[in-house]
Amino acid sequence: MARVVILGAGIAGHTSALHAKRILGKKTEVIVISPNSNWNWIPSNIWVGVGKMKKEQVIFPLAPIYKRKGIEFHQALAKSIYPEGNAKSKKPYVEILYTDSAKKDQVGTVEYDYLINATGPKLNFQATPGLGPDGHTVSVCTAGHAVEAAKSLAESISIMKSGKNQKIAIGVGHGTCTCEGAAFEYTFNVEHELRAAGVRDMAEIWYITNEYELGDFGVGGMVFTQQGFQTTSKLWTESLFRERDIKAILGAHVEKVEAGEIHYELVDGTKDILTFDFAMLLPPFRGVDLQAFNAKGEDISSEIFAASGFMKVDADYTPKAYEDWRAEDWPSTYRNPSYPNIFAVGIAFAPPHQISKPRKSPNGTLIAPSPPRTGMPSGIMGKLAILSIKELLAHGPDAQVPTASMADMGAACVASAGSGLTKGSAAAMTMYPIVPDYIKYPNTGRSGPDTFGEIGLGGHWIKFLLHHMFIYKAKARPGWSLIPE
């Protein structure tokens, strides 16, 4: 019986796990290793972070779902991969550290035939002194963080209600952050909540980002086609900021955060301080702390993982100037070149290049939004790994496996701009492909008809529907597999 081991039960890993049982059938053993007992629909953390949803509405326990589906679940952190096995085990295996109360801190080993690394990001708050919940800013990256963010925002609102102005700072906390879309979303939700609370005139709202221009979103911006006309995500986003009187600091690397002060450097090398009463800054991401060892026990982590800590897959990692990269440099099978029975999907794979143009300040500081890997591609990759394993099991190691490159994949991003079934709104953006291809689409790198943006109440309903649909799917309720990734 073949064994598929999945590290991580987020969007990519959980999608892999559910499809594995459905597609590979009873003859395949499926094991999930993940440190948290709950699944989290991360996109809705934004609403938890403004107090519009409770934590319980965005999480649910994984164990009952896995029990119902015949999937073995180890609540544990993967620590090391032994892709060749060693004296202890002839088969490849993973060393894990249990995190559940019954087995806490016990070490275990789990052998595998196929390994799917879906461990997502390490939230690297440590990269910026003073950043994050242990420092001076809040976060919405986990449901727990979002609860704290909502509390802190509520305090600011009550201070405003008592007649004192507040300065709000939202954005990204390092020059190499990704997920600017989430920071944008939180900014607009906070603005919406302040209006709803009747205190908007008491607040100054600042958006601080590593993006060189508004609307970059880590994908180098987009050219939208709207009613037959072309416009850019820059113009579109600038207009949204102007309408809501949100000020922006662009091309910024946050150096450190102190109580009430964000110290930053701009692309032109100038340095300044943004003072704040409430600040939500996203951390930069890196790969989780996984190591790899060969049969002799030698550390091969640098062969398996990129310097960013993310796992190497079938991408072209040759160092190149930004202008020289091509769409085909992006991976399409997500298999590790040294050990093709290992896949890395979702945020866990190492992207070959930045999509958004990287810049350096005259002081040598890198200010470069990292490529986003949003929910839809993460789910698609999770399923792809299982479809590939099906082919490998049926036809052996040389089997032709399916492909899905981000240079040949679209993404729909619905950024909430305030919740409420009658008063909510959202900015809905669609792009195809995610990684621009200037050979196929010489003008803008993307397909005109398939790249567009719209804002309105309809977008909020879509976002709300997606929340319920994806939680339904993740709970593996009847017909779940008909809901696309």
Q: Which is nearer to ligand FAD, 123 or 368 (CB)?
A: 123
Smallest gap from residue 160 Cβ to ligand FAD (A): 24
- Which residue bears the tokens 């010489």? 442
Residue 100 tokens read as 């559940």
Q: Which is nearer to ligand FAD, 10 or 331 (CB)?
A: 10
- Which residue bears the tokens 């899905």? 404
Burial class (CB in 10 A: 0-12, 13-18, 19+), 276: buried
Q: Which is nearer to ligand FAD, 29 or 265 (CB)?
A: 29
Q: Which is nearer to ligand FAD, 119 or 425 (CB)?
A: 119
Smallest gap from residue 178 Cβ to ligand FAD (A): 9
Smallest gap from residue 55 Cβ to ligand FAD (A): 14
Q: Which is nearer to ligand FAD, 119 or 187 (CB)?
A: 119
Residue 377 tokens read as 């591609």
The residue number with the shortest CB distance to ligand FAD is 10
Sign of the CA dihedral running 402, 122, 79, 19: negative
Q: Which is nearer to ligand FAD, 222 or 347 (CB)?
A: 347
Residue 356 tokens read as 């958004």
Smallest gap from residue 334 Cβ to ligand FAD (A): 11
Residue 424 tokens read as 């909510």
Smallest gap from residue 99 Cβ to ligand FAD (A): 9
Residues binding ligand FAD (CB under 6 A): 7-13, 33-36, 42-43, 45-46, 77-78, 118-120, 140-141, 179, 182, 288, 290, 346-348, 373-376, 378, 413
One-letter amino acid at 188 equals F
Smallest gap from residue 288 Cβ to ligand FAD (A): 4
Smallest gap from residue 381 Cβ to ligand FAD (A): 8
Q: Which is nearer to ligand FAD, 33 or 300 (CB)?
A: 33
